[in-house]
Amino acid sequence: MLVDGEPRLACITLAASMQGRRIETIESLATQGRLSALQRAFHERLGTQCGFCTPGMIMAAEALLRREPRPTEAQIREALSGNLCRCTGYVKIIESVLAAAEARR
C-alpha cells in the first residue's frame, strides 16, 4: 500500500497508527472499473502469475513511477526489492513496469 504516497508493507502496519493518513491500495488505482496503465501492463505482460505478490509489486512500482516516470531496470529492481515473488521470477514483472512507464508517457 501507499501511505501519503510512499510504499509501505501493509502486513506490518498497525491500522490505528494510520489515522489521518492517505492510504492507497491496489483497488484505488482503477478508475471507474478501468485498470490503470500499470495494472493493465501486469496483465498484458504476464507480470502476474499466481497473483499473491501482485498488489505489493504494483503499489511499489506505482510509487516508483510517480517519482521516476522513466526508471531504469536497476531502479525498478531496487524499488521492488522489498517484495518477494515465489512464482517464475522477476523478468515479467520488470517488463511490466517498463511497459507501464512507456504507456504513461
Site residues (vs ligand FES, CB under 6 A): 48-54, 85-87
Q: Shortest Cβ distance from residue 49 to ligand FES (Å)?
A: 4
Residue 42 or 98: the one with the smaller Cβ distance to ligand FES is: 42
Q: Shortest Cβ distance from residue 22 to ligand FES (Å)?
A: 26
- Using the structure block, give the residue that is written with the C-alpha cell 499466481: 50
No. of helices (H) and no. of strands (E), the chain: 4, 3
Residue 50 or 103: the one with the smaller Cβ distance to ligand FES is: 50
Residue 51 or 82: the one with the smaller Cβ distance to ligand FES is: 51
45: β partners: none
CB-based burial label for 13 (10 Å; 0-12, 13-18, 19+): middle
